[in-house]
A and B are shown apart, each in its own frame.
Chain A
Amino acid sequence: MPHDQSDGGFLMSPLGVRLAERAPIALRLKTLRGARIGLLDNTKKNADRLLAAVGAILIRDHGVAELISRRKISSSPAAPDEMIDDLARCDAVINAYGDCGSCTSWCVHDGVTLEKRGVPTATVNSDAFVVLGQQEAVALGVPGLPIVTVPHPMGDVSAEEVERRAAAMAAQVVHVLTGDADTLETEYTDRFIDESDKFTRSEMMCAI
């Protein structure tokens, strides 16, 4: 940088500095056949229908053995520890969904928690909020969090439309829950955001 802290010749920065942490995503499953899949419903309108519909497709077309449903009391804040513990006993989790600011925040937070616990997770955001979701994944230290998208908005669409969107989303879910984690992480890092979207301008990067 063209200055040092002793010369007093520059304005001071009001920007926050983040502790540098970075965690990989969980290892993925070899196959969904015979798997127990957790469904984390954050109570947003139609999240229950979307998860049920995707779960049914995974059973029908991909040999999933069992679905374990858990519903948060509300979309914000985080899923309670006992719920995370229950879901961590599943082979993989589908986590739906973020379609607003606070629910995206905590949906991504739950996804990051599960990935750090070693549970491959398909975290779902609406396409209007996936940029925020990925910014938050970066801020939470899991920049490669695989985020599956659904069209925005989800709250005012019919049950039939939710079924259609679930069918369209199922392939993405299968893709992010299986295969090679490193490849997936590379694929999802910066997938939805560019430099101008990031919270961390250069002044905010922590050198620690």
Chain B
Amino acid sequence: MTTMTPDSAERFLTIPATLDFEEANEELYRLGVTDGLPVVPPTPDRVARMLDGLRRDPAESLGALGPAYGQATIEKIAVNAVMAGCRPEYLPVLAAAVEAMVEYEFNLYGINATTHPVTPMLVINGPAAERLRVNSGYNCMGQGWRANATIGRAIRLILVNIAGGTPGKGDRATHGTPAKFSFCLAENELASPWLPLHVRRGFAPDMSTVTVHGSESPHEINNHTSEDGEGILRTFADTISTIGHNNSYLGRGEVAICIGPEHAQTIARDGPGIQDIQDYLFRNAGNRRSELLAIARDNFDAMAPFDRSEEDPFVPLVEKPEDYLLFVAGGVGKHSMAMPSFGLTRSVTKAIDLG
């Protein structure tokens, strides 16, 4: 375990805590430490109250975050959490998400610096969702819930301030995405006909977890008409088979689909489980070799395995069926959401220590 003993110049800015809200925000914006929206000024009192939310040594570092490789100490995470407007009880979620993001396979170094419009999507499972009131229903990817909005926002501030992801500097996103302001939701476990994501990943049902996925902005999947699951799944496969996203470009990585509860019920009514859906998508989402060659995409050696003996083989989007990351969330309605990924990243799930 790395423990940091930073000196006061590293722990404090030169902005007096007595400045009023507007003046403090002008200074913080000028320093480049915000997301452009006003932040809660991180006074020592507020940071101390935030640290009450997690019984860990504030000097403990959870790892170095690239591209700047700043150490993510509990205290630094708490300062960013204050700025984002988090409640202290959210701090354990942020710590778990940081622990997930520092895993090598998540490839934060690539994700934070890339030109691709990627952001960590956080999916929360288990009792934490209800206890922290993380929205998993209507508008769970949109505005209106403090936990969703501020946890996701704190992750972005951490990636800017600890990790060096300043736009145009450490963060070279060509456009970025509105999802970079915040992207956090819970699985709607009660509305799911299947086992929750964290249980499928080996955690006990009564444990709380956060899963991070290096995600594009969500894209709608509308199917208001199919009377069976086959029609819904065909719509999933067709929606994600577009040729322009990174999974298609690389022929690897994970694609996440947030299945709306109504779609989930229609699919499950005919019997398919999660593995069946993954198998279907693996077989049916992708592009013909000729279509890839038509745009001079010929990096087939690096792509998912496919039958090269065929004249015009079907190249899947991902390497194996399990690369489809499936979970259920949303309110009433016949919509699901697709999240292609950065491609060169694996989602990671970590336990949340609610204390």
Contact = CB atoms under 8 A, between A and B. Distances in A.
Contacts of B114: 76, 100-102, 105
B45 interface: yes
Contacts of A100: 114-115, 172
A3 B15 CA distance: 10
B110 A102 contact: yes
Contact of A203 (B10, B45, B65, B83): B10
A18 interface: yes
**In the complex, which of the residues B7, B116, B166 has the most CB atoms of chain A within 10 Å of its own CB atom?**
B7
A5 B302 CA distance: 52
Given A12-B11, A13-B13, A19 B64 contact: yes
Question: Chain A contact residues: over half helix, strand or loop, or mixed?
Answer: loop
B4 to A, nearest CB: 6
B47 interface: yes
Interface residues of B, number: 68
User: In the complex, which of the residues A3, A129, A139 has the most CB atoms of chain B within 10 Å of its own CB atom?
Assistant: A139
A17 B61 CA distance: 10
Contacts of A76: 107, 110, 114, 344
Contacts of B13: 10-13, 203
B277 to A, nearest CB: 27
Contacts, number: 191
B163 interface: yes
Interface string B9-28: 11111111110000010001
A136 B67 contact: yes
Contacts of A204: 10, 68, 70
Contacts of A73: 302
B171 interface: yes
B7 A207 contact: yes
B14 to A, nearest CB: 7
Interface stretch (B36-44, B89-97, B127-135): B36-44
Contact of B2 (A16, A19, A105): A19
A206 B10 contact: yes
Interface in A155-208: 197, 199-208
Nearest to B173: A101
A31 interface: no
Nearest to A72: B302
A120 B220 CA distance: 50
Contacts of B299: 43
Contacts of A199: 67-68, 70, 164, 166, 169-170
Nearest to B24: A11
A4 B8 contact: yes
A115 B191 CA distance: 54
Contacts of B166: 199
A83 interface: no
B65 A12 contact: no
B109 A16 contact: no
Contacts of A208: 5
B68 A16 contact: yes
B33 interface: yes
A79 interface: no
18 contacts: A1-B14, A5-B8, A8-B17, A13-B10, A13-B11, A15-B161, A17-B73, A19-B69, A74-B344, A102-B344, A129-B172, A135-B67, A135-B164, A135-B169, A139-B69, A140-B69, A199-B68, A207-B9
Interface of A: 1-5, 8-19, 43, 73-77, 100-102, 104-106, 109, 129, 132, 135-136, 139-140, 197, 199-208
